[in-house]
Chains A and B, each alone.
Chain A
């Protein structure tokens, strides 16, 4: 079951002040979630940041996520470039293929085959100038997961959405697995400029 969260309504922080504000948070429950989506994102910030602690149900090491905007899953509208390390070598690659339903965020989640506690990934994603209607949208991310020295990935990703629309929703789905597992955590923040 997908999880959708209405940003402002769910946040309960309408009265919040500051340059860095929490907009909404999703923690996946015991049934898992096929996707996590932030909707109704206000345009009152300059940049967005997503801070995640995800784990998918794919039972091998090395899983990623698609990040799409405004329900646009047309793969030709997205570009991804990544530099990642797998513990043995550093690899650079680009992705734009049929079935890539968004920006391909590398190294984003842990191994669903491990114990409940083990191997959650981590990611920090910046979405720059998301409300601007005059330019395409650029993202950057740092994401990774580690095990006890037997596997792990660390990746830097640059993403592009070829749309001038203001971003009003962000959706995360596993690239290969079918759901996010319990305790996966996604938090959306807004950053204001002067």
Chain B
């Protein structure tokens, strides 16, 4: 019996770690979903990159945030990787149509951080290559121990 929504890989950190990579992602799914649950000890943010591409101009995002000070929306382009925001809590991302080699890649994400606020993000990776790896990196700190990273694949008919 085929399975439509499959776990591909999970990493649970045993020590504070600066970087986590899911590599050799097969192209057999339609979308990917990433779930991060844990803590990020950095004072700024984490980021993620695809296929080891750290070309700043290839990444951008638009987001809206709600926090104790109110709400805001901003965007960034030309950053080295993509802001993860604070990952204190959960961060769930949908990487749509990741394996196609015709279009740039669009990613949606929701961030729920009980201690700081909530956020919704849309990201663009300006590259038509199929995504075969995703790397999460702490910019100013580490992902704390016990933080989990799980990658799922979703198949379409």
Residues of A within 8 A of B (CB): 10-13, 15-25, 51-53, 83-90, 107, 110, 116-124, 142-156, 183, 185, 187, 189
CB distance from A101 to the nearest CB of B (A): 24
Residues of B close to A122: CB separation below 8 A: 94, 96, 106-108, 122
Decide: A85 and B63 in contact? CB cutoff 8 A. Answer: yes
Per a CB cutoff under 8 Å, which of A11, A19, A21, A143 touches B108?
A: A143
By the criterion of a CB under 8 Å from any partner CB, how many residues of chain B are at the interface?
Answer: 44
Question: CB-CB < 8 A to A153: which residues of B?
Answer: 62, 122
Contact A117 B64 (CB under 8 A): no
Would you call B26 an interface residue if the criterion is a C-beta within 8 Å of the partner chain's C-beta atoms? Answer: no
A18 touches B1 (CB 8 A): yes
A53 to B156, CA, bound (A): 13
Contact A117 B96 (CB under 8 A): no
Question: Bound state CA distance, A145 and B5, in angstroms?
Answer: 24
Cα A19 to Cα B1 in complex, Å, equals 12
Q: Is the CB of A25 within 8 A of B156?
A: yes
A-side contacts of B124, CB under 8 Å: 119, 145-148, 152
Write the residues of chain B forming the contact surface with A, with a CB cutoff of 8 angstroms: 1-5, 30-31, 57, 60-64, 66, 71-78, 94, 96-97, 100, 102-104, 106-108, 110, 120-124, 126, 128, 154-157
Bound-state CA distance A151–B75 (Å) is 8
Q: 7 nearest interchain CB pairs?
A: A149-B77, A85-B64, A85-B73, A144-B122, A152-B62, A87-B75, A11-B157
Beyond contacts A52-B96, A88-B74, A118-B103: 15 other A-B pairs, Cβ-Cβ < 8 A, are A13-B157, A17-B2, A18-B3, A18-B4, A20-B154, A21-B4, A25-B30, A25-B157, A51-B156, A119-B104, A145-B122, A148-B57, A148-B60, A148-B77, A150-B77
With A13-B157, A120-B103, A122-B96 already in contact, the answer to whether A144 and B62 are too (CB < 8 A) is: yes
Q: Are B157 and A51 in contact (CB under 8 A)?
A: no
Main SS class of interface, A: strand
Q: Is the interface of B mostly helix, strand, loop or mixed?
A: strand
Give the docked Cα–Cα distance between A149 and B125 (Å): 11
> Are B104 and A117 interface neighbours, CB within 8 A?
yes
A107 touches B122 (CB 8 A): yes
A53 to B96, Cβ gap below 8 A?
yes
Q: Give the nearest-CB partner of B79 in chain A.
A: A149
Q: Could you list 16 examples of A-B contacts with CB < 8 Å?
A: A16-B2, A24-B157, A87-B75, A90-B73, A107-B122, A116-B102, A120-B103, A122-B106, A122-B122, A124-B94, A142-B94, A144-B122, A146-B60, A146-B123, A151-B62, A155-B120
B103 touches A152 (CB 8 A): no
Decide: A142 and B108 in contact? CB cutoff 8 A.
yes
Q: Closest B residue to A89 by CB, please name it.
A: B73
Known: A90-B72, A154-B64. A117 touches B120 (CB 8 A): no
Which residues of chain A have C-beta atoms less than 8 A from B154's C-beta?
20, 51, 189
Chain A residue at smallest Cβ distance from B5 = A20
By a CB distance below 8 angstroms, the chain B residues around A156 are: 120
**Cβ A146 vs Cβ B62 within 8 A:** yes
